[in-house]
Amino acid sequence: MSQLGERMIRRVVFTEAEIRERVAQLAREITHAYAASDPLLVLGLLKGSFIFMADLVRGIQLPLQLDFLVVASYGRQKTSSGDVRLLYDPPSSFEGRSVLLVEDIVDSGTTLRRLVPRLMARGPTSIEVCTLLHKRTTSVEPEPRWVGFDAPNEFLVGYGLDHAEDFRHLPYIASL
């Protein structure tokens, strides 16, 4: 990382070891919850969730399929614009399937509020949300069923989360 990048990091919020342990625990909980269901469709929100989702699905001990959505609401800013744009909508059939939506962070809740009704219209049996981080700054509907960590109200990067496409590669989560 450049010296500029190192200077921008204020503190490590969640270590690599803490993340690894919590993701394994979430995978066990999800395995248990979906043990009696048909193959699960795990739907990741790109780009932020890709590292979390990869680690999570490797720990889920069930048949599953993967797909992704690409949404944008931040751009180069540190706060959501409130304008949630769907840049890639997967062709996967949701009809009669259990869908697990994997999110990197729930902040304002705008993405979930706009996205979940759109996905429900495609006829899944259920949609549940698993998020690595939840800031709990506002009430969210639907409330994520699985939360990795309650997060401080700071701008966080690392483990897939970025600022203007930088910092995603960090194995820990830090605040800027």
Q: What is the pLDDT of residues 13-62, one digit of tens each?
A: 999 999 999 999 999 999 999 998 778 999 999 899 999 999 999 999 99
pLDDT, position 5: 56
pLDDT, position 111: 84
Reported as a single tens digit per residue, the pLDDT across 61-104 is 999 999 999 887 655 554 544 566 677 667 778 898 999 999 99
Greater confidence (87 vs 171) lies with 171
Q: How confident is the model at residue 153 (pLDDT cuts 50, 70, 90)?
A: very high
**Which domains can be identified in the chain, with CATH numbers?**
16-157 (3.40.50.2020)
pLDDT, position 72: 73
Give first-to-last CA distance, the chain, whole Å.
14
pLDDT, position 138: 79
Reported as a single tens digit per residue, the pLDDT across 115-136 is 898 899 999 999 999 999 999 8
pLDDT beyond 90 at 145: yes
Active-site annotation holds for 104: no
pLDDT, position 4: 47
From the candidates 107, 150, 162, 166, which is the catalytic residue?
107
